[in-house]
Amino acid sequence: MWWPEPMVNYCSLNLNNLVFQFTGSHPLRPDSPHDASRILRPSRLCQSRSQQTNCRKCVPMFQSLLSITGRAALVAIFLMSAVGNKIPNYSKVAAYMASEGVPAPQILLGGAIAFLIVGGALVLVGYKARLGATLLLIFLIFATYFFHDFWTVRDLAAKEFQMIQFLKNLSLAGAMLFIIANGPGAGSLESVFSKRSGKK
């Protein structure tokens, strides 16, 4: 017996959306009548409620994986800047900062390293992520103003390079503002603590 499409109701909206997200096509929109006879049977996709439940569990797991990967990719540049450049080359970086007009470069460089490491770590694990994003945003504002002020550069090639760096920092600042507004997302310590407190 064939089931009309409205009666099938896409065999649970969550399952249909999951298939759509992974494949880019709806499993219940056949291209031919032959496909319809094979697909439009509810037993094909919804054999049991336990299978539907397991499928629904895949969505938050996938969201957590993407969120963790995204946060790691976002803060990699900050952590590597502190650990891979500023700490081992402290004196050279401080001298460069002084040449760019940064006041008290030895002190401010230490503060910048602290902001980068603490802010990057908080955003990465998703704990106090709004605070971490705020620290990184402050660093970006000052770093962009002192080191990527393309509007003061006359050489066209150097001006273009500094403009690219300015726009890169602008994009990163936008990501920090997004985290401040919305939090770290799935797969974060904040979400874990929130679930635990909700169960109590």
> What is the longest distance spanned by two Cα atoms in the chain?
81
Q: Is 42's pLDDT higher than 60? A: no
Closest CA to 105 of 133, 147, 159: 147
Q: Is 37's pLDDT higher than 50? A: no
The reported pLDDT for the residue numbered 59 is 84
User: Position of tokens 């065999």?
Assistant: 11
The reported pLDDT for the residue numbered 176 is 98
Q: Is 149's pLDDT higher than 60? A: yes
Break the chain into its structural domains and give their ranges. 5-47, 67-199
The three-state secondary structure class of 64 is helix
| 195 confidence band (pLDDT: 50, 70, 90) | confident
Quote the CA–CA distance of 43 and 11 in Å, as a whole number. Answer: 9
Mean per-residue pLDDT, 136-164:
96
Q: Is 140's pLDDT higher than 50? A: yes
Tens-place pLDDT, residues 90-117: 999 999 999 999 999 999 999 999 999 9
Q: Is 179's pLDDT higher than 80? A: yes
The reported pLDDT for the residue numbered 196 is 79
Tens-place pLDDT, residues 45-87: 445 666 666 667 788 889 999 999 999 999 999 999 999 999 9
Count of CB atoms situated within 10 Å of the CB of 23: 9
191 close to 184: Cβ distance less than 8 angstroms: yes
